[in-house]
Structure formats: C-alpha cells, structure tokens
Structure 1
Amino acid sequence: MGETELSYYLPSRQTGVNDMYLHLGFRGPEHLVAPARVRTVWAILRLRHPLLCTNVEMHAYDDIRFVYDAPTSPEDLLKDAEANIEYRSQTKDEMIDSYLNGPRTLSNTRLSYLILAKSLAHSDPAIPSPPPTPHLDGGSQTLSVQNATQPTYQHDLLICAMHFLGDGMALHAFANDFFGLLGAKDSDEDLSNRLSDEWKTRWATAPQDVAVLPSALEDNIPMKWSRLRRAVAAADFEMSQQKLVGGQAFPRRKHPERRTVVPTISLPEQRTKAILKKCKENGVSISAALFAVCNFAWARMGGGPRDLPSMMYSALNLRPYFTVKPTAPWDSYWFLAIGYFNVILPNFLPEDNLARAFWYRARQAKDQSTRAAKSPLVVSRTHEMARERSQRAQKWGKEDDEKEKGIWSPPTPPSEQSPPIPPREPVLPARAKAPTAALIGLSLLGNLDGIYKHQTFPALEMHTLTTGSRQRNGAMLLFGYTFKGKLWLSLGYDENGFSEGVVEKFWEEAINCVDEFLV
C-alpha cells in the first residue's frame, strides 16, 4: 500500500471506519436481475478491477500489502463472485442502516461486496422473496420473448467497498458499468462468453510479467525530489497549513454507541433547473453555493464565537494531475485519487441584504476551491499530506492495538527522556497557534448524470441514489449531487455524537437557506 491507502486502512480495522457504500434504487424486469445474470456481470467487473478481489496482509504498520490470487478459469471467477453476493428481502432504509450501524460487512478477506434486495415496501405481497444465492450448477438463463413481457419490479442494490481501494468517482463509474452490462441486450450466454473472452485476454494469452494491480496514488504523481525541492515543499506545506483557521464546531457529547443516520432530500427537476440557473447568474456552481448554505445555516443558529471563521473541508479529484497512466487490459479506475482542500468563510451575517452576502460568500468558496485545484504546488502538497496522514495513522494504529492488548503507556515527556531528544528544527518561525476546528465536511459529487449513461440500459430505470460510508463516533458529512435531473442533499452523521437537537436544527436551517437563496 502507498501512504494514502495506508492512512485509510489502519483506522478501518476495528469497526470499518470509511467503508464505502453506494445504494441505487431501480425498477426493472425480473429476468435482467436474475441471480445467474447478476453473478456473471459481477464476475466480469471483478476480473476487470482486480483490486476488488484482493486480500490484505499486514506485516508492520508501514508494511501493508494487497495480495491477489489470479483466477485460473472463468468458473473460478464465478465462484468468487458468488461468494461475494448476498440477496435479501429488505427496504432501502433497512439495508443502509444495517450496513452503517450493524456488524461490519467487509474484512481483510472481503474488500468488496454486493447486496441486492427486492424492497418489501414496493413489492407485490404475492411475489415470493428473492431466492437464495444460486449454485454454479443452476444453469444460465437466456433472454426470450416470454421474458420481455415480464412485469417490472422494484430493486435495491448496495455496492460495498473499502475506501482504500478507491474513491467516489471509482464507485460511480463502476455502478454505471454494472448497469450497462446488466441492462444490455446481451443474453446470459453472451455475457458468459464475454467473461471467458476477457479472462483469456488477461490470463491465457497475456504476458505474466505485467503489473496487474493499479499503482498507489503517490506513484501516479511522482516527483523528482532534491534536497532543495524537499525543503521548499516542506516550507510550502507548513505555510499552507498555518493558513487554516477555523473556530466553529458542533457541540459534541460522549456516547458509547455510534448510530449513523442519513436524512436525505431531493428537489424536483423544475426546481433544480431554477437553482442551476440562479447559480449560473451569480457566477458559481451548486457546489460553491452549498458551502454558503452551510455557512449561513450555522451563523443563523448563533453557534460559536462571531470573531472566528467557519472552516469546511472537501475532497479534491487528483486524476487530472496523474502523469502515470494504466495500460490495457489492466487499466482499472479503482484506485485512490483524492486530496483535500478547505474553504474558510466569516461566521457573522450582515444586518441587511442577506442575498448579496450569500452569493458573495458562494463566490469566495468558488475562488478558494479554484485556487486549491489550480495551485502549481498541488502535487507536492499531496505528497506532504500523504506522508503526514500516514505517519499519524501508524502512530494511532499502534496506540489502538496496544490499548486493546492492555500494554499501552503514555509517551515519556521530552523533559524526562534520557538522553533528551533534540527538538525538530522548525521550517518556519514560530507563530501563535490558531484554532483549526472544521465545522463540517462536504462531498460534492457534481452532476452524476454525466457518469450514468441511462440510455444504455433503458430497461433498468434508476430513481434513487444514496452514498456514504461507515463513520467514526461524532462524524458528519454532507453530500450534494444532481441525479436523474434532481438536486439531492444528504447529511450523514452520528446522532449519538452531538448535543441533542443541534444537528437537526442545522439541517432545518440549511434547507431553509436552499429555499430562500437558491430558488
């Protein structure tokens, strides 16, 4: 694993922190969602993206490895796919709740998983529950005129994957490919032949000395380091970190049990079009406007000192910066490609002309986001951040393991060390430490209809999308995206980790700000 992958893996070990999920609700005929067909599609995609099929071996805190067993045949792929699918009779909410708050679904030997349910809330009571996972000798089904006349049912799909395998963009690209195969005009036999052909291309005839697994993030944006460049990168990174000032945070409470909830709203297509038009008129995207929504919602609640700003963080897509590109047939898009940036806005509201102030702050958010994405030092900062996150994860991972074994002891204070270890020479002159609390994280996925090619699987009608991950205690993340022409807002948070009523009030104020300023 690279440093970024390692920084995600170590905190995930006990309770599955950051294990991702993508839920898609869709309607479609039963023959396109038959277990044998789903299994074949899942096998094809696991062949194309080998990282999904790996295991993890931990040799040391800085030596953690992916282990991949090459499939010996198409039948081997089908067995592996079958072992990583589960069929349930659950509603969407039950499915997501069990993944977020129940026992962990994923593990070191199961890095990805598929759950498919026929929702009880929408199914005809006379229709039997989905069958158990079929055995390989169950035979394949082929399309027929009879199948084409089958009625349409409601289905819910949950795609589960470890976060150190990839990011949200990989997850959505994968879902589009999954539905593209599942809803294709190909018969089940055609898909089985495709699986065989693709296995032969990769394993029966291809050279065996190629790199099968994708490179780590840091290897995809390599730098030629020199002593001078290293010193400049360290100084720039330290200065960029010193600029981060945030004095706003939700009041938290300690609770032994984490319980993540995900209130979600979607706005009708016409209303979404009006919002897009309003944002364009004010020179921003919906993503930038959502920073202003969170800023105004918090300020209206009167939380935190007025003289300290609100800091919010979000993910930065690093794929455009990659200089190392994968080559076919091992050109999987399943790999990590995210960095982080911060948006800092004032924590007070003017007495008049709130709309002008709102859009001014949205433009500030846009400017800060653009500067982060277009900085000529984004690559060196990514390397420095990866190194820092990796070292921190290793330290905390070791501490967690020692506490679990009952052998942890607090580190010796520097004054008592013998011989004393000289302090690290600072890169920059010492400054008074500013507060760096982050109010909230925003995952702004943009227009997902640019990823999902709905016209390529017309028989499968998607209508609902929800995404997120298992969280640590007291965590919160706001998702914003457009899907099926609608604007979706989703707030995932630990309802036991915050003072009673405060997050609910914030969510109410955020929706009010959308109604007041965006339409």
Structure 2
Amino acid sequence: MAPVLKRVDSRSSDDTLIETVARSLERPLGDTEVSYFLPSRESGVNDMYLHLGFRAPPEIMRRNRVSLVWAILRLKHPLLASRVEMHSYKDIRFVYMTPESVLEALESADASLEYRSQTKDDLIDTYLNGPRTLANERLSYLIISQVEEQEFDFLLCATHFLGDGMALHQFANDFFSLLASGRADEDLESMLTEEWYGRWGGNKHDSVGVSLPASLEERLPPMSPGRFCRAVSRVDYAKSQEKLIGGQSFPRRSGHPRKTVVPTISIDPERTKQILKKCKAQSTSISSAMFAICNIAWARTCNGSLELPTMMYSALNLRPVLTASKALNDSYWYLCIGYFNVVLPSFIPHSGSDAEIEKIFWHRARVAKNQSARAAKSAMLVSRSYEMALERGQRARRFAREDDEKALGIWKAPPPSPPVASNKPPSTALIGLSLLGNLDGTYKHSAFPSVKLHTLTTGSRQRAAGMLLFAYTFVSRLWISLGYDQGGFEPSTVERFWGNVVSAVDSDLLA
C-alpha cells in the first residue's frame, strides 16, 4: 500500500530551513502474524521477552545514551515502533507513524524505555504474570534494571507477531554493539540524525521504495497459481499432517489462576564441552538430543499407558528459503517461523541396563535429527508453509470471533454434528521445544568488551496450560529452562518430569 505523505516545512528563528516530514506507512498482517495477534489481544498470550544479565560501567548505561541507541534501532526496524489497528477479522494492519524529526524519534524511544531496580526474577515474574506490558499501541518495550553498582538487567519485550527468537537475539547483539562501541554520545547523536535523514528527511525517498518489512507469506517464493498445483499442495499438506501421531500429554487441571514459572539449569563450560563432544561423536546435536531427553524423561514420569508414541513440536526457521528483499526498511524484525514435529516411541524397558538405555537414547536422538532434517529440507517446504499459515490464520479468526461473541453474550453454539466413526489416531503433542542452538554465534562478545553478558533467559507469556522447554548454549554454558503454567497442570507430574530432565542431563548418558 502506498504511504500517505505529508510534508511540513518550518523555519527557525535564524531563518534556516528545518525540514520535517510526517508519513504514515501501513500494511496488512499476514496469516502467520494474524495467528499470533488475535490470541494476544486479551492478556498478551505469546508476548516475548529476552532477559540478559550483565556487568557494565555505569557511565555507558545512562538513560540518555541508552535512549539514543534504542532510537537508532527503532528507526532501522520500524515494526518495533508501529501499532496495530484492527478493522475486522480480515483487515488487521501495522501502522507506522514516521517521526517528524530527529527529536521526535528520540522522544518516542524514550517513552518506550523504563528504568527499574528489580531483580532478574522479579522482572521476569512481573512480565509473565502481572498486567500486560505491551498493547496494540505499544508493540515493544525496553526495561533496564540496576540492583548493584555495575550489575544490570536488560529486558526486551516484543509481541510475537513482530518477530521471533532470531530477531530478539540479533537485536540484543546490535544493541550492545552500539552501546559499548566506545562512541561518544555526540557520535550516537550524529548516527541518529543520519539515520533519520537517510530515511525520512530528504527528498529522494518521498514514496518510492518506502515500505514496512514484508510478512512471511510475501517473502516466501511464489506458488504456482494453477489449480492443479494448489490441489497438490493441499493434498500433500493434509497427508503430512496425518502422519503426526501422538498420544502422550501432561494431566491438566482447571480452576487455578494462570501462573508461569521458569525453572532453569545452567551447565558449567567444561561439562558443556563434554556434552557437545559426545553429541558429535554420536552423529547428532544437542538440539536433537533434547528431544530424546524429553522422551526418556516422560517415559520415566508417566503413570499411564506408553503404547502410543510421544509427539513434540518445535519452530522451524524459514529464513533460508525466503526470496531476497531490498526494500528500504527491510530488517530482521519480522516473524519467520513454521513448525515441525518429532514423533518417538514412548516405551523404554524399565529393567534395561544402563548400556541398553544409552543405546536407545542415542538412537532416538538420531531419529529426531533425521525427522528435523526432513522437515527443513523437504521439497514441499514452501507449499506446506503456505498451507500451514493459511490454516493457522483461518483458525485464529474463527476462535477470535467466537471469543468476542461470547464476551458480548451473543454466541450461539453450532448444532451438534452427527457422530462419525473414525479410526484416526490421536495427534496430541506432549510439549514444545524451542531449540536456539549456539547463541555465542549470534552474540559477538568481542564487539562490546566493556559489557560482560553472563545470564540469558527467554520465553513468552503463556496461555492457560501452556508449556515450552528452551535449550541453548550461551557464554560457553548449556542452559535448559521449562516455562509452564503452574496453575494449568497437575503439579507433581510436571515436577517429576523436570527432575527427570535434569537427571538425564546430569547422568552418564551425555558424558
């Protein structure tokens, strides 16, 4: 959609022309973005956060300096400074009011920045379980907390329909690279001015080429418009979904308020090195091994039948398959994920020897690796991504309309469908895994030597009975955390499962 242009010229007291320009840019949300936006409206479900604990000289953490860096990056990544307007279930838009001046860009950034004196745990608990921090008018927010002279906490908050984990971590790296670059405040001011003029202050970019970062569906390689190709895509997607069989789940409970907790373990660098070495020797990775760890942990936790397999899901990074985009405001802040599933047998022999269990464990880790690779390298990946986005968007709109009608007291239940005999197996997922890999490849620690990052925690506001396990390496340590709604699950089962995950990581399986 062409931007709405409005140019405002004014003159200062010394009659020097000061040019300011106001533009409103907007674009519709894609189906994947819609599937995250609509559920977030009531209480911020899936609102992301990234926490980093670090040591730094207090002088580089002054508010005016942090505001400058925050403002520069918000200009580079305009979705962070946008809002969402919903006109109907099929017409939901990002709207970006470009700052009329450098000063307005700085003031806008400062308004979305807060300094506190909370501990890490208090910061995260407030974000996850308190009133929603974000809103349709505020899609990102930055919190800096200081509890000791040189100890700081960084909490970046962003709605999930703005981006994904890759965007969070790349942004944090860019933030600290600028903040601790050694540049004087005056140099950062010049960078901010140049960034604003390069985008909005000159005549060359009045309207041509100016746009917001495109949605995932716009970035994927185009699908053939022919009916036959579309039919093939639908059939392939349906058949791929039919293969997803899972019959294991955590027992849930109702009537308890939602409260997300995030138990976390951190493995020392030497032990982490041993684990990574063992994974490599077994022709797999720590990410694939995490599926096997959850699989074994559940088999040791479950009191019910283990006859049906265990299904787990994870996000699939779709950036490698995107078409190139050279739009002026192109950035890494956009949502670019699909999903894939790993299905493993649930049963393990309880009387098996340690050697037998270890053999089973590594075999299942390799199976998980192969299933993950097949999903990422499938020749049908693009068409399946389109079909999944369409399905998720339609489902989100249907549920959103139903929720809104219930809130208004006008919802009517559809007539019951006649019973249909079905031999279709269940497709219940036990848990989701967010496998972020080696984050030391994203954070260029040498680019900000005066800042010493030492702690990283990430996650999102959960829906009722939501659960997601995170695993990544950071500052040469393996980190594993379990974010879940404490009120939505039978507590002893989750606690036993988490204990079994920790025991598996500590055992000789990974050494």
- Superposed displacement of residue 71, structure 1: 1.1
- Superposed displacement of residue 398, structure 1: 0.5
- Superposed displacement of residue 325, structure 1: 1.9
For 1:58-457, list aligned pairs within 5 A: 58-119=86-147, 123=148, 153-205=150-202, 206-209=204-207, 210-221=209-220, 222-327=222-327, 329-350=328-349, 351-352=352-353, 353-413=356-416, 432-457=423-448
Q: Which residue of 1 aligns with 2:43?
A: 15
- Superposed displacement of residue 223, structure 1: 1.5
Identity of aligned residues (%): 58
RMSD over aligned CA atoms reads 1.3
Give me the whole-angstrom Cα distance separating, in 2, the residues matched to 1:354 and 1:500: 27
Structure 2 counterpart of 1:118, one-letter code: Q
Contact 1:247 1:304 in 2 (8 A): no
Contact 2:35 2:396 in 1 (8 A): yes
Q: Which residue of 2 aligns with 1:142?
A: none
- Superposed displacement of residue 307, structure 1: 1.3
Name the SS for the 2:491 alignment partner.
Answer: coil
Structure 1 counterpart of 2:201, one-letter code: A
TM-score, normalised with respect to structure 1? 0.90
Contact 1:326 1:332 in 2 (8 A): no
Q: Which residue of 2 aligns with 1:138?
A: none
More strand by percentage: 2
Q: Which residue of 2 aligns with 1:504?
A: 495
| Greater alpha carbon shift after TM alignment, 437-446 vs 219-228 | 219-228
Give me the whole-angstrom Cα distance separating, in 1, the residues matched to 2:160 and 2:423: 36
- Superposed displacement of residue 204, structure 1: 1.7
Name the SS for the 1:116 alignment partner.
Answer: strand
Partner deviation per Cα, 1:87-123 (whole Å, 9 max, x = no partner): 111000000000000000000100000011002xxx2
Name the SS for the 1:438 alignment partner.
Answer: strand
Q: Which residue of 2 aligns with 1:49?
A: 77
Give me the whole-angstrom Cα distance separating, in 2, the residues matched to 1:432 and 1:410: 26
Structure 1 counterpart of 2:152, one-letter code: H
Structure 2 counterpart of 1:179, one-letter code: F
Q: Which residue of 1 aligns with 2:55?
A: 27
Contact 1:248 1:303 in 2 (8 A): no
Structure 2 counterpart of 1:391, one-letter code: Q
Contact 2:70 2:175 in 1 (8 A): yes
Name stretches of at least 5 consecutive residues in structure 2 with no aligned partner.
1-28
Name the SS for the 1:501 alignment partner.
Answer: helix
Name the SS for the 1:172 alignment partner.
Answer: helix
- Superposed displacement of residue 413, structure 1: 4.0
- Quick check: 1:518 aligned with 2:507? no
- Quick check: 1:491 aligned with 2:485? no
Q: Which residue of 1 aligns with 2:460?
A: 469
Give me the whole-angstrom Cα distance separating, in 1, the residues matched to 2:362 and 2:61: 46
Give me the whole-angstrom Cα distance separating, in 2, the residues matched to 1:76 and 1:224: 45
TM-score, normalised with respect to structure 2? 0.91
Give me the whole-angstrom Cα distance separating, in 2, the residues matched to 1:255 and 1:442: 26
- Superposed displacement of residue 255, structure 1: 2.7
Give me the whole-angstrom Cα distance separating, in 1, the residues matched to 2:304 and 2:184: 60
Q: Which residue of 1 aligns with 2:25?
A: none
Partner deviation per Cα, 1:117-141 (whole Å, 9 max, x = no partner): 002xxx26xxxxxxxxxxxxxxxxx
How many residue pairs end up in the alignment? 474
Give me the whole-angstrom Cα distance separating, in 1, the residues matched to 2:252 and 2:79: 37
- Superposed displacement of residue 431, structure 1: 6.5
Give me the whole-angstrom Cα distance separating, in 2, the residues matched to 1:452 and 1:469: 21
- Superposed displacement of residue 303, structure 1: 3.9
Structure 1 counterpart of 2:398, one-letter code: K
Name the SS for the 1:497 alignment partner.
Answer: coil
Give me the whole-angstrom Cα distance separating, in 1, the residues matched to 2:358 and 2:210: 54
Partner deviation per Cα, 1:372-395 (whole Å, 9 max, x = no partner): 000000000001011110110001
Structure 2 counterpart of 1:50, one-letter code: P
Contact 2:256 2:488 in 1 (8 A): no
Give me the whole-angstrom Cα distance separating, in 2, the residues matched to 1:313 and 1:461: 34
Give me the whole-angstrom Cα distance separating, in 2, the residues matched to 1:176 and 1:212: 25
Contact 1:477 1:492 in 2 (8 A): yes
Q: Which residue of 2 aligns with 1:145?
A: none
Contact 1:249 1:304 in 2 (8 A): no
- Superposed displacement of residue 301, structure 1: 1.5
Name the SS for the 2:276 alignment partner.
Answer: helix
Name the SS for the 1:163 alignment partner.
Answer: coil
Name the SS for the 1:439 alignment partner.
Answer: strand
